[in-house]
């Protein structure tokens, strides 16, 4: 199985990265994992020029061209982001917006695959709205990629309770990673 993981936090070693690493560690033992720190990529926003609608390429020359083949073919797509104002980070949102390339022509991507979402939030999510709203948007994006959302891992209130190797969220992510690794042998 080939896994694409997009780490969308601007903090390379923060709670999102820690939770994502717990998920990916067991997967990387048996499968090929392509992990990208999105904030470290050179990405421009979508220009809404629709060149991708008629041609098989986005006209912008940036690091998105390295992601397009993986977004099109990986068996598992993992999105990881902190929740910022009921949505993913701006860094990850740039990748999502540039996937107009797949929206205009779904034949450009493989189907019969899966998506997983990893969300963190510094504040508590008392009413569940932060996770639910962010998850709904990501679910639609993953559906567009032909990788329906099969699971969401969350860690909220991380300003007071950071994700550590002893935390329940870390252990749940590692356990789910082991389950995925075994399921996709």
pLDDT of the chain, 185 residues: tens digit per residue = 999 999 999 999 999 999 999 999 999 999 999 999 999 999 999 999 989 888 878 899 999 999 999 999 999 999 999 999 999 999 999 999 999 988 888 888 888 899 999 999 999 988 788 999 999 999 999 999 999 999 999 999 999 999 999 999 999 999 999 999 999 87
State the pLDDT at residue 25: 98
Domains of the chain as residue ranges with CATH: 2-183 (3.40.50.360)
How far apart are the C-alpha atoms of 120 and 39, rounded to whole Å?
A: 16
CA atoms within 13 A on the CB side of 104: 16
How far apart are the C-alpha atoms of 128 and 182, rounded to whole Å?
A: 31
Alpha-carbon Rg for the chain in angstroms? 16
pTM for the structure as a whole: 0.96
């Amino acid at each position: 199985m080939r896994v694409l993981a997009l780490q969308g936090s601007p903090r390379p070693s923060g709670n999102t990265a820690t939770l994502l690493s717990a998920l990916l560690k067991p997967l990387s033992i048996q499968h090929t994992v392509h992990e990208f720190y999105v904030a470290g990529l050179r990405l421009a926003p979508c220009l809404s020029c629709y060149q991708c609608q008629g041609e098989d390429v986005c006209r912008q020359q940036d690091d998105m061209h390295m992601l397009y083949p993986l977004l099109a073919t990986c068996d598992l797509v993992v999105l990881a982001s902190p929740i910022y104002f009921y949505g993913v980070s701006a860094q990850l949102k740039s990748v999502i917006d540039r996937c107009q390339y797949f929206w205009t022509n779904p034949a450009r991507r493989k189907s019969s695959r899966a998506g997983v979402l990893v969300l963190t939030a510094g504040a508590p999510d008392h009413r569940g709205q932060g996770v639910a709203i962010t998850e709904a948007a990501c679910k639609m994006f993953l559906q567009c990629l032909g990788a329906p959302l099969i699971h969401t891992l969350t860690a909220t209130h991380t300003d007071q309770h950071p994700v550590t190797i002893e935390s329940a969220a870390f252990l749940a992510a590692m356990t789910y990673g082991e389950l995925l690794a075994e399921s996709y042998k």
